[in-house]
């Protein structure tokens, strides 16, 4: 898993830099579900409505085709809606409406001490309601895939089909590395008067012993942001992940639940998540699942083989739209 993480973050950091620079010219629509922008100070203890930040595709150069079912796409741990930009843009180029969003405790969305797949499935359900989507396709990768699976198992009437990127309904491998990154990030000390550039240099020096891979380290540093009060902080709610680590690494489906609508699982052929035991659990909970593996890809299949990933997803969605 550690090797897969390093390979992905090496790829993603290059993508992030390219798209972050070009995003100034992008016309995709970005919104917040509620009225106030999310901030680490905007923190909920216990249950409550969560403010989510989301982005809608296609851009103004492409019209939405009402014949195509919208697709909502959930990211993985330590990620955000921004690192789904390339895939989402390609998926929307032929008129399909695509929505990406920051999960609770990530990106520009609100923080909460509650952090598990039940509450994240509820967040997804509320977002679909707020956007007035009628039975969209729901897709997620890794943590987002588990959120999508929980949503499908608990609210099957609210989606047309499920798409899951390289994760199974079981305990994820290699979680100890993720936990060590979160603990190291939490321990970082940043000067109160530091601007974003200085804060990243300070954090980089402190994280380097735990995260020796430079691309991985640079990716983690993109989660630093300057808040309205001028203080630089992590976008991620690290306490929530550390305190709920076992819940996020595992997956406990509702007893007796299955999802019998069309389902697609896309694995990287080299991923540790792609195993006979994992596939068997997929077939038990999702009996209609079509299982595809992409050659020469690991866990981050959408970043490592984006064109192949997009084609598999497009063919699946287009086929369902054509069949009515």
Catalytic positions = 142, 239, 299
Residue 252 neighbours by CB distance under 10 Å: 13
| Adjacent-strand bridge partners of 163 | 139, 264
- Give Cα 47 to chain centroid, integer Å: 21
d(CA 108, CA 228) in angstroms, rounded, equals 13
Residue 146 in contact with residue 205, Cβ under 8 Å? no
Tell me how far CA of residue 140 lies from CA of 103, 206, 281, 314, in angstroms: 11, 32, 17, 15
Strands (E) across 200-262 are located at 224-226, 232-234
Can you read off the two tokens belonging to residue 107? Answer: 């990106």
Q: Which residue, among 89, 22, 29, 86, has the nearest Cα to 53 in the 3D structure?
A: 29
Tell me how far CA of residue 56 lies from CA of 59, 135, 265, in angstroms: 8, 17, 24
180-197 burial, b at 16+ Cβ within 10 Å, e below that, comes to ebbebbeebebeeebeee
Strand order in the sheet with 161-165: 29-32, 53-57, 98-101, 71-74, 137-141, 161-165, 263-268, 289-294
- Give Cα 150 to chain centroid, integer Å: 14
- Give Cα 138 to chain centroid, integer Å: 12
């Amino acid at each position: 898993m550690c090797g897969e993480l390093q390979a992905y973050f090496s790829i993603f950091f290059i993508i992030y830099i390219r798209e972050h620079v070009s995003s100034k010219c992008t016309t995709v629509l970005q919104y917040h579900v509620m009225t106030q922008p999310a901030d680490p100070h905007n923190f909920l203890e216990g249950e409550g409505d969560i403010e989510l930040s989301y982005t809608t595709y296609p851009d103004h150069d492409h019209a939405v085709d009402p014949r195509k079912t919208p697709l909502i796409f959930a990211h993985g741990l330590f990620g955000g809606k921004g690192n789904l930009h390339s895939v989402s843009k390609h998926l929307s180029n032929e008129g399909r409406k695509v929505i990406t969003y920051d999960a609770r405790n990530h990106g520009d969305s609100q923080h909460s001490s509650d952090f598990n797949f039940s509450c994240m499935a509820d967040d997804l359900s509320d977002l679909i309601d707020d956007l007035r989507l009628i039975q969209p396709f729901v897709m997620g990768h890794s943590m987002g895939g588990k959120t999508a699976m929980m949503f499908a198992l608990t609210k099957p009437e609210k989606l047309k089909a499920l798409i899951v990127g390289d994760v199974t309904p079981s305990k994820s491998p290699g979680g100890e590395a993720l936990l060590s990154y979160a603990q190291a990030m939490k321990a970082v000390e940043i000067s109160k008067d530091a601007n974003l550039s200085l804060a990243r240099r300070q954090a980089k020096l402190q994280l380097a012993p735990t995260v020796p891979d430079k691309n991985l380290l640079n990716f983690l540093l993109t989660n630093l942001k300057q808040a309205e009060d001028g203080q630089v902080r992590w976008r991620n709610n690290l306490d929530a992940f550390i305190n709920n680590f076992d819940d996020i690494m595992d997956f406990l489906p509702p007893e007796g639940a299955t999802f019998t609508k069309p389902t697609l699982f896309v694995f990287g052929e080299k991923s540790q998540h792609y195993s006979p035991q994992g596939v068997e659990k997929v077939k038990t909970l999702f009996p209609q699942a079509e299982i595809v593996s992409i050659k020469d890809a690991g866990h981050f299949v959408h970043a490592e083989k984006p064109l192949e990933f997009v084609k598999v997803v497009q063919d699946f969605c287009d086929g369902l739209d054509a069949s009515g």
